[in-house]
Amino acid sequence: MKKNHVGIVEQIIGPVVDVRFEGYLPQIYEKLLCRAENGVVAFETQSHYNGLARCLALQANEGMSRGKEVEATGETLTAPVGTGVLGRVINALGEPIDNKGPIECSERWAIHRKAPPLTAQTAAFQMLETGIKAIDLLTPYPKGGKIGLFGGAGVGKTVLILELIRNIADSMGGYSIFTGVGERSREGNDILTDMEQADVLKNTALVFGQMNEPPGARMRAALCGLTLAEYFRDVKKQDVLLFIDNIYRYAQAGAEISALLGRMPSAVGYQPTLASELGLLQERITSTKDAAITSVQAVYVPADDITDPAPAAIFAHLDATTVLSRDVVEQGIYPAVNPLASSSKILQPSVVGQKHYETANKALQVLQRYKELQDIIAILGMEELSEEDKITVRRARKLQRFFSQPFFVANIYTQDSGRYVPVEDTVNGAQAILEGQVDHIPESMFYFAGDLDEIIERYEKNKE
């Protein structure tokens, strides 16, 4: 057996460690191992600096000292691929963390890979029904496309992603990969137990690099999850759903270590390589002629500032974006979709049909008009508006409330069972509201219902 090269730690600054090798220098992305106080710590080579290998710790490296020996492994990080990972939970290093023994797989793939060539790629032109009214009507999701859920802290991104898993994983069939990047460990546990109970774990692989782990692990967990999905697409030629919660944390982890790696900070302290780092990841999440990866990515918006460099850079990669806003949360409307800030590339008559397209546009116009009128209402009150504007305001408010919807995964908050609304009913309902067919029903009846029939039923019952 070939003996691996051994280097000596020369400098430790947080998770970034410089290692000196004699007569050898590990390749960029090469995995290194070091025996520290609390077990073996893995590192990934990031750059060469004055003849030293500058490496990033993928596990906590407290208690490490200079002069320690570090072993070069000669290979990059790998992930186990194939059906053996289904039903399992792994970390950024591709190791199982669910105490269920080793993963059965014949192959391990390197997690750093190239995106498929241009000639192999296809564009997505089919709508994916989610059963969520606000999304289906205004920002229809493309099958095989990339979908982003933007929102600040605590506006309901994770709940929405869980509802989507519930609603579409079933209907799509095939396999799903859930990648938890820099989110709460508690949520990881919740997802795991929920999936076990719902018996969907057998078709799902879970990858976690959560917020208690060092930045290296959080960065690599995203790539690890993606590699699992790529295997199913390229080798098994099977459609895959890839959920990433939360892609912002990938960019954030890069920012945490960027300065320590010796790079100059860019705008708002982000890494100068922000756009290229995201590009490397995002270009790999794509559909080929063989099979499609449909990805749903939650995007955290730091300080509720949508112009922050990271979310701004992520926007460009997506086919459909749903933006969740705090002011909608404040009105008690969940999911807190901000219709005017959300968009979808497939909201076109050729994809969704003429009726859907027109209704969605009409809805946006009414909501936009209401937004403009809000300032006037705040200063002068409703009475000062013209009769026509009054009608617009009332319909807009009804529409806003119509977009609230009880979720299956949220019944611990609402004590109300979820509703799945087919897109056709959503379009019909919105059309009826916009045409004034339900002007007689008070707006409070529109909160948290399924389709319009349920609202009418509620009204009739209340009248008695």
Partner 1 sequence: MRNITVKSSLELTQSQKQTLEKGLKDRYGEDITIEYVIKDILGGLIITDGEKLLDLSMSKDLLKIKKEAERIINEMHAASSAGAQLEKELTPSDIPAFLKFNLGNIVTGNLDIDICGKVIDVADGIIRISGLSSCKYNELLLVNKDTYAIAMNLEKDRVGAMLLNNIDKVSFGDIVYATGKTAEVPVGQALLGRVVNPLGQPLDGIRTLFTEKFRKIESPAPSIVDREKVSRPLSTGILAIDSMVPIGKGQRELIIGDRQTGKTSIAIDTIINQKGKNTLCVYVAIGQRAGEVAKIIRVLKENDAFEYTCMVVSAADDAPSLQYLAPYTGCAIAEEFMYDGKDVLIVYDDLSKHAVAYRTISLLLKRPSGREAYPGDIFYIHSRLLERAAKLCKQKGGGSMTALPIIETLEGDISSYIPTNIISITDGQIYLERELFRSGVRPAVNVGLSVSRVGGAAQYPAIRKLSSKLRLTLAHYRELAVFSHFGSELDDNTKRILEQGEKIVEALKQPQYQPMSVLRQTLILYLIANQLISDVDKKHLGDFLTKFHHFYYSSYPAQAKELNSGRDLSDNAAATIEVACEQFKAYYLASLKKGGLP
d(CA 90, CA 104) in angstroms, rounded, equals: 13
Q: Which of residues 27, 122, 171, 212 is near partner 1 by CB under 8 A?
A: 212
Between 133 and 249, whose beta carbon lies closer to partner 1? 249
> Which of 54, 88, 146, 157 does the annotation list as catalytic?
157
Tell me which H or E stretch contains 255: helix 247-258
Q: Give the contact letters, 135-174, x = binds to partner 1 (CB under 8 A), - = no.
A: -----------------xxx--------------------
113 labelled catalytic: no
Q: Does 447 bind partner 1 (CB under 8 A)?
A: yes
Burial class (CB in 10 A: 0-12, 13-18, 19+), 461: exposed
Q: Does 193 bind partner 1 (CB under 8 A)?
A: yes
Return the sign of the alpha-carbon dihedral for residues 63, 64, 68, 71: positive
> Which of 20, 108, 143, 184 does the annotation list as catalytic?
184
Token pair 């908050």 in the structure block, residue: 413
Q: Does 252 bind partner 1 (CB under 8 A)?
A: yes
Between 190 and 389, whose beta carbon lies closer to partner 1? 190
Q: Which of residues 8, 172, 211, 235 is near partner 1 by CB under 8 A?
A: 211
**Is the peptide bond preceding residue 140 cis, with omega within 30 degrees of 0?**
no
Token pair 């020996």 in the structure block, residue: 69
Token pair 């959503």 in the structure block, residue: 426
Q: Where are the beta strands (DSSP E) in 153-291?
A: 175-181, 204-209, 240-245
Q: Does 179 bind partner 1 (CB under 8 A)?
A: no
d(CA 250, CA 252) in angstroms, rounded, equals: 5
Minimal distance, residue 459 CB to partner 1, in Å: 11
Within 385-439, where are the H helices?
Answer: 387-402, 411-414, 423-435
Q: Give the contact letters, 51-70, x = binds to partner 1 (CB under 8 A), - = no.
A: ---------xxxxxxxx---
Minimal distance, residue 56 CB to partner 1, in Å: 13
Q: Alpha carbon 179 to chain centroid distance?
A: 9
Within 177-214, where are the H helices?
Answer: 185-198
356 DSSP assignment = H
Minimal distance, residue 154 CB to partner 1, in Å: 5
Q: Considering only residues 322 through 361, tell me which ones interact with partner 1, judged by CB under 8 A.
A: 326, 329-332
114 labelled catalytic: no
Q: Does 312 bind partner 1 (CB under 8 A)?
A: no
Minimal distance, residue 358 CB to partner 1, in Å: 29
Binding-site size for partner 1 (CB under 8 A) equals 72
Positions marked catalytic: 157, 183-184
